[in-house]
Structure 1
Amino acid sequence: MNIRYILILYALLWCATRTLAQDKSVRASVLASEEVEKLFPSSVKAEHGIRFPVFRVYSYVDESGKHFCVLTESKDAQDSNGDVANNKIQAFLFNAGEVFLKKNGELSDQILGNESEEESIWFWTKYASFDDLDKDGIIDPILVYGTSALNGTDDGRVIITVQHKDVFYHIRHQNGILDDERHTNIDPAFYDAPKSIQEAIKGTIVAISNDEKAIFPYNWKEALKAKKTVWRE
């Protein structure tokens, strides 16, 4: 085995490792920029209300057909370090027909007002997943996004969203430096979702906590089990 072949093999392995580290989803592929431009020209964006620059597009397939998840970020601001920041984000979920796209889901959010001092909002793609969580043949996308404020993510927000049967369930967490600043709000309907979906969200919360991206109330597992819609310290 010559050295050139070894270097190429190492480079391919390195790229694959980076991709898996960024996105844990195993059922979805990330479209190249050329594919995105071809599938979503200006006319298609205008038709479906895609107003912000496309950050990433996922393609995935289940028993209902092929789908696209389009993540967009406004890139219309600067944070306190002078880096590009976002005031708003939008995500779009499409069913892909042979000649047209049908939108079957959309979510949007923005930084809060001046009192919160939030500086930017963006998608946390490391925690995105596209799996059939309840084994009904249909993918249940999980998307995560968050915000930063004067202390970065330490006093920003984290939002976890899962779509199941065209319904979005949200877990909204306010991070904070002090214990009494942190709280989590759960959509009441989330507890009606299949247990497997609730367990998947529990795993996402654990992953975010392990990465020290947020501190959830210390008793959140008990609160989840008790089906509480507000978690506090």
Structure 2
Amino acid sequence: MKKIYTLLLLSFFALTAAAQTDTTTNSKKLTKAETEEFFTTAFKKKNLINFPIFRAYTYHDKSGTYYVALSESADTVNKEKDTVNYTVKAFNFKVDKTTRVKKWEINDFKTPTVKGDEKESSIWFWTKYCEFKDLDGDGLIDPIIVYGTFGHEGYTDGRAKILVYYKGIKTAIRHQNSVVDATRKTQVDVTFYSLPAPIQTHIKELMEKMVKNKHAIFPTEYAEKMDKKAVSIGNE
């Protein structure tokens, strides 16, 4: 009986230690109440968060605790009763005791309408692909933010952008969808190739998932070309 008790006690400590280890790279989506508690009216005004917060997250790792807000302009509602956004903004704040410091910000917008010619109808965050994970096992979360636009044909001629923050440095993959080879293009920041291999692999898998879900049309050999450090990828 004593041995069983000892084993149970050791198991408890092992589970507790594992749980404590997991919390160093923990993240969660905030509820509406939790979002409003952190992103108060005064706080939003001070930090120029002028758009409605569509989704908010918190995560913590060995460097501290962070809060992320994804906001969209919500300019109008179309005939399908979908919210149409002309602009998106994201904010990342680090919390240290009583101080809240902005670490990075994202600002982007749909292609402006010129002389009645509307190339894109809306832009929004693709939270299906947004992640807050430690991808290379260094104890630091590597946030991935994904958003995109709708063109005349929806996803097939809209744009997509993948942003990954590694140790606070942003790396972007910008993509123009098209069913026509000549107008389909992917631009990869050169910093992508200095990212740890697990992060590069994860981003490529994410791109493959986007293709599978028909949210992106990447060139057939895009993965191979990215391996060859092609900064601009097309179907030449």
TM-score (ref. length: structure 2): 0.84
CA distance in 1, matches of 2:26, 2:160: 24
1:188 aligns with 2:190: yes
| Bigger radius of gyration | 2
Cα separation, 1, equivalents of 2:26 and 2:131: 8
Provide the residue aligned with 1:14 in structure 2.
Answer: none
Aligned residue for 1:215?
Answer: 217
**For the structure 1 residues 49 and 176, does the alpha-carbon distance in structure 2 shift closer, same or farther, using more than 3 Å as the test?**
same
Q: Are the equivalent residues in 2 in contact too, given 1:53–1:72 (CA < 8 A)? A: yes
1:91 is paired with a residue of what secondary structure? strand
> 1:173 touches 1:184 (CA, 8 Å); kept in 2?
yes
Counterpart in the other structure of 1:59: 58
1:128 Cα deviation from its structure 2 partner: 1.1
**Structure 1 equivalent of residue 10 of structure 2:** none
Kindly state the Cα deviation for residue 183 of structure 1 after the two structures are TM-superposed.
Answer: 0.7
| Alignment partners' CA distance in 2, 1:60 and 1:31 | 10
Q: 2:179 aligns with which of 155, 177, 180?
A: 177
Partner of 1:46: 45
After TM superposition, the score normalised by the length of structure 1 is 0.85
The answer to whether 1:158 aligns with 2:157 is no
Structure 2 SS opposite 1:127: coil
Distance 2:52 2:199 in 1: 30
Residues 1:70 and 2:69 aligned together: yes
What are the within-5 Å matches in structure 2 for residues 7-26 of structure 1? none
SS at match of 1:36: helix
Overall identity of the aligned pairs, in %: 38
CA displacement, residues 130-157 of structure 1 (integer Å, 9 cap, x when unaligned)? 1112222110001110100111111100
Give, in angstroms, the shift of residue 80 of structure 1.
Answer: 6.1
Structure 1 residue 98, shift from structure 2 partner: 2.2
**Equivalent position of 1:132 in the other structure:** 134
In structure 2, distance between residues paired with 1:133 and 1:83: 34
The gaps in structure 1 that reach 5 residues or longer are 1-25
CA contact (8 A) 1:79 1:119 kept: no
Cα RMSD after superposing both structures: 1.5
Q: Distance in 2 between matches of 1:229 and 1:80?
A: 39
